[in-house]
């Protein structure tokens, strides 16, 4: 699923490292934000994940790594534990800009 919008994230949107879950209330980890935007299409009562959603998520993760110069050998869970909330938000916003999302006024 390609999201129509990609919010501008601030450090308060990121779970402080080390994150034990992908999501805590409205806050998410870096991997949690990627999954939320590209993998999970929430329906009324259940979660729907299609093969296309998985492909979109893998592509988004690949783009995230490329834009932020993170090698394939680096586990993103380990990466997010080693970086502050501010650095994680900046990295996600860098991806947002790279993918061409604009700020709606």
pLDDT digits (tens, 9 = 90+) for 30-58: 998 998 888 876 655 567 788 888 898 99
Domain segments of the chain: what residues? 11-98
- State both tokens at 98: 């790279």
pTM: 0.83
Residues 59-87: b if buried by 16+ CB within 10 A, e if exposed? ebbeebbebbeeeeeeeeeebbeebebeb
pLDDT digits (tens, 9 = 90+) for 62-74: 999 999 999 999 9
CA distances from 37 to 41, 57, 73, 82 (A): 8, 8, 23, 22
At 7, the pLDDT band (50, 70, 90 cuts) reads: confident
Closest CA to 101 of 55, 63, 62, 73: 63
């Amino acid at each position: 699923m390609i999201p129509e919008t990609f919010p501008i994230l601030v450090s308060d949107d990121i779970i402080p490292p080390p994150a034990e879950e992908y999501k805590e209330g409205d806050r998410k980890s870096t991997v949690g934000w990627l999954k939320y935007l590209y993998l999970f299409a929430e329906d009324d009562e259940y979660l729907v994940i299609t093969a296309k959603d998985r492909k979109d998520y893998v592509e988004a993760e690949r783009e995230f790594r490329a834009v932020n110069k993170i090698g394939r050998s680096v586990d993103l869970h380990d990466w997010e534990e080693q970086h502050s909330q501010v650095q994680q938000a900046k990295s996600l916003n860098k991806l947002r800009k790279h993918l061409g999302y604009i700020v709606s006024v």
